Amino acid sequence: MEPMNAVKTVPVQLTGVGYAVPEKVLCNADLETMVETTDEWIFTRTGIRERRVVQDGEFLWQLCVPAARQALAQAKLDPADLDLIVVATSSPDYPMPSTAALVQKELGAFKAAAFDLEAACTGYVYGLAVCKQFIATGMYRNVLLIGADMLSRFMDYTDRGTCILFGDGAGATVLQAGTREGVLSTILAADGRGAGHLDISENPNEPGAPARMARRQYMHMNGKEIYKFVVDVVPPMIEQAAAQAGIEVGQIKHYILHQANARILDAVARRLKLEDGAMLHNIAKYGNTSAASIPLVLGEGVDEGVIKPGDLCCLVGFGAGLTWAAAIVEWSGPAS
C-alpha cells in the first residue's frame, strides 16, 4: 500500500527533437586572417574545425522556429496543442519580449504560455528540469523546450582565447505526458563565487553593467579555471544522477555533454573510464553553441540512428554562473 502522503506524478517522455544552425560557416582558416592563430593550434587545443555564425540581420528566433518545427513533426504534435514554450538562452534578440514569445507567434501556438530561461551553457538541462515539473505535476501535457544561442554577437575577434570557440545554433525537444518515465533524474547546481571566470561585460575582471545598459560587451573567459571546475564537478555529478535514477553508470549508453572543448570531453571520458563511442560529440563542426549544444548532439544522434528508442542518455551542462547540471533521460521517440 502506498503511503498516504505519496505524491503521484505523471511520466514525462521525450518524443521529438530538432535543430538548426546558420548557413554561414566560419572555419579555422578564416580565423587565421582575423587573429593570430592557425588551424592546427585551434584543433589540437579545442577539437574544433569550424563553427556556424549568424550574419547581420539574422535573429535567434529565426533559428529556434525551424528547430521547433522539426521536433514537433517528429513528435507528431500540432503547434496548437502546445501548453508551454521555454527557450533557454543567454543571447535573446531583445531584453523583452522573450524569444519564446516570438517563437510562439511564428508557430501559431497561441494556447501555449511562453518564457525564457537563462543559465548560460547549462540552460538546456536547467530547462529540462523546469519543464519536467510542469508535466509531472499534471499542469501541462505538451511542452516545447529550446536551447539556443548566438554568442557570436559577443565575440571579440581579436581575442584568441574566446573567438575560436563559439558558434551559433538552436536545438529543440518536445516533452509530453506519457506512460513511461523518460526523465529519470535531474540535478542542478550553481556557485556564484566563480561568476568572474566567464562573463559578458565591459570589464574582463568582474561582471560589468547589464547588457541593456552597457555600450558594448564582449565575452571574457578564464579557460584554465573553467577546465579545472568542469573536470572536478562533472564526473561525481554523473554518478549522483545515475544513483538518483536508480541505475548503474554502466547502463548509460550515450553521454551527451555540453560541447565546450574536446579536451574537457576526453578528460571526463577518461575519468569515468567510458568505452569508445560512448561520449557523443559534434564540436568539430559547430564549436561551442552554449545552450544549443546538448540538443544539437541529441538531434543528430537520433537522425543518424545512433540514439534509438529506449536508449539511456546522460545529459550534462556546465558554464557561466558558475552553473552545472545533469539529467538521465530515455529517448522515447514519437508517442504511440
Residue % of the chain over a pLDDT of 90:
83
> What pLDDT is recorded for position 205?
45
> What pLDDT is recorded for position 95?
93
Annotated catalytic residue: which of 258, 261, 281, 314? 258
Any idea which fold 184-330 has? Peroxisomal Thiolase; Chain A, domain 1 (3.40.47)
Cβ neighbours, 10 Å, residue 44? 11
The arithmetic mean of pLDDT across residues 73-81, rounded, is 97
Contact of 157 with 35, CB cutoff 8 Å: yes
Helices (H) and strands (E) in the chain, counts: 10, 14
- Distances in Å between the Cα of 273 and the Cα atoms of 119, 139, 234, 270, 288 are 29, 40, 14, 5, 24
Count of positions (residues) in the chain? 336
203: annotated active-site residue: no
> What pLDDT is recorded for position 215?
46
258: annotated active-site residue: yes
pLDDT digits (tens, 9 = 90+) for 287-333: 999 999 999 999 999 999 999 999 999 999 999 999 999 999 999 98
Annotated catalytic residue: which of 28, 64, 121, 131? 121
121: annotated active-site residue: yes
Contact of 321 with 195, CB cutoff 8 Å: yes
pLDDT digits (tens, 9 = 90+) for 87-106: 999 999 999 999 999 999 99
pLDDT digits (tens, 9 = 90+) for 182-236: 999 999 999 999 999 988 887 544 444 444 444 468 888 888 899 899 999 999 9
Distance CA(199)–CA(197), nearest Å, equals 7
Strand pairing of 12-20 and 168-177?
antiparallel
> What pLDDT is recorded for position 336?
57
**pLDDT tier, 6 (very low <50, low <70, confident <90, very high otherwise):** low
Distance CA(8)–CA(29), nearest Å, equals 55
- As given in the structure block, the three cell numbers for residue 324 are 552545472
Strand pairing of 254-257 and 279-280?
parallel
> What pLDDT is recorded for position 8?
83
- Computed over every residue of the chain, the mean pLDDT equals 92
- Helix ranges, 191-275 (H): 223-245, 262-272
Distance CA(18)–CA(38), nearest Å, equals 33
Rg (C-alpha) for the chain, rounded Å, is: 19
212: exposed, middle or buried (C-beta count within 10 Å: 0-12, 13-18, 19+)? exposed
Strand pairing of 142-150 and 84-88?
parallel
> What pLDDT is recorded for position 217?
81
> What pLDDT is recorded for position 216?
61
Annotated catalytic residue: which of 28, 288, 313, 314? 288
Q: Where in the chain is the domain with CATH 3.40.47.10?
A: 12-181, 184-330
Amino acid present at 115: F
Of residues 71 and 200, more confidence is placed in: 71
- For residue 269, the number of C-alpha atoms closer than 13 Å in the C-beta half-sphere is 19
Domain 12-181 has CATH 3.40.50.1970: no
Q: What is the pTM of this model?
A: 0.92
